[in-house]
Amino acid sequence: MKIGIVGLGLIGGSIAKAYKLNEDNCVYGYDLNKTVLSFAKMSDAIDDVLTDENIKECDLIITAIYPKATIKFLEDKGSLIGENAIVVDTCGIKSAICEKGFEIAKEKNFRFVGGHPMAGKQLSGFKHSRDSLFSGAPMVIVPEDYNDLFFIDKVKEMLMPIGFSNVSVTTSKNHDEIIAYTSQMPHLVSNAFIKSETADKHRGFSAGSYNDLTRVAYLNEEMWSELFLDNSDHLINELDGFISELIKYREALTQHDKELLEKLLKEGREKKEKVDGKCR
pLDDT digits 0-9 by tens, 57-100: 999 999 999 999 999 999 999 999 999 999 999 999 999 999 99
Same domain, 76 and 18: yes
Same domain, 50 and 148: yes
pLDDT at 122: 72
Structural domain span for residue 218 = 175-275
Listed in sequence order, the residues at least 6 apart from 224 whose beta carbon sits closer than 8 Å to its beta carbon are 184, 187
- pTM for this predicted structure: 0.88
pLDDT at 247: 98
| Higher local confidence (pLDDT), 210 or 152 | 152
- pLDDT tier for residue 121 given thresholds of 50, 70 and 90: confident
Mean pLDDT of the chain: 94
Q: Is the pLDDT at 279 greater than 70, yes or no?
A: no
Same domain, 135 and 116: yes
Q: Is the pLDDT at 280 greater than 60, yes or no?
A: no
Tens of pLDDT along 226-268?
Answer: 999 999 999 999 999 999 999 999 999 999 999 999 999 999 9
Domain boundary among 169, 202, 227: 169
The three-point CA angle 81-114-131 to 5° equals 85
Measured distance CA(5)–CA(62) in Å, rounded: 5
Q: Is residue 267 part of a domain?
A: yes
Tens of pLDDT along 104-120?
Answer: 999 999 999 999 999 87
Domain boundary among 109, 140, 169: 169
Q: Is residue 280 part of a domain?
A: no
**Which residues lie across from 3 on neighbouring strands?**
27, 60
Tens of pLDDT along 167-182?
Answer: 999 999 999 999 999 9
Dihedrals φ, ψ of 61, to 5°? Answer: -125, 125
Q: How many domains does the chain have?
A: 2
Same domain, 243 and 217: yes
The answer to whether 228 and 180 are in contact (CB under 8 A) is no
**Which residues lie across from 28 on neighbouring strands?**
4, 48
Tens of pLDDT along 176-216?
Answer: 999 999 999 999 999 999 999 998 888 877 788 988 898 98
CATH number at residue 201: 1.10.3660.10
Same domain, 207 and 79: no
Same domain, 88 and 156: yes
